[in-house]
């Protein structure tokens, strides 16, 4: 089973559109299953995430994104 990397950095960015993150740290989705976006006065640039296998090799690498929290 893949394990998620623990290092995630946030950088403050001026107001604009951002993905909506729920309280359990997941992306909110619309009826079509796509990630919801909304205008927010405070948003963060998140560095992304990396998942590794049991040998320490990269399994998935997620791109940086803007978050509302």
| Number of neighbouring beta carbons within 10 Å of residue 18 | 22
Cβ neighbours for 22, distance < 8 A, ≥ 6 positions apart:
28
Is 29 in contact with 35 (CB distance < 8 Å)?
yes
**pLDDT (0 to 100) of residue 31:** 93
The answer to whether the predicted template modeling score (pTM) of the entire model surpasses 0.75 is no
Structural domain boundaries in the chain:
3-67
What is the pLDDT tens value at each position of the chain, 69 positions in all?
Answer: 455 555 555 566 778 888 888 888 788 999 999 989 888 887 777 777 788 888 888 898 887 776 666
Sheet hosting strand 3-4, strand order edge to edge: 3-4, 49-52, 58-62
């Amino acid at each position: 089973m893949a394990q998620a990397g623990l290092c995630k950095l946030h950088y403050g960015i001026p107001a604009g559109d951002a993905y909506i993150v729920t309280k359990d740290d997941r992306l909110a989705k619309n009826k079509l299953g796509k990630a919801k976006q909304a205008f927010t006065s405070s948003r963060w640039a998140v560095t992304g995430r990396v998942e590794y296998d049991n040998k320490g090799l990269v399994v998935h690498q997620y791109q940086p994104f803007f978050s509302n929290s």
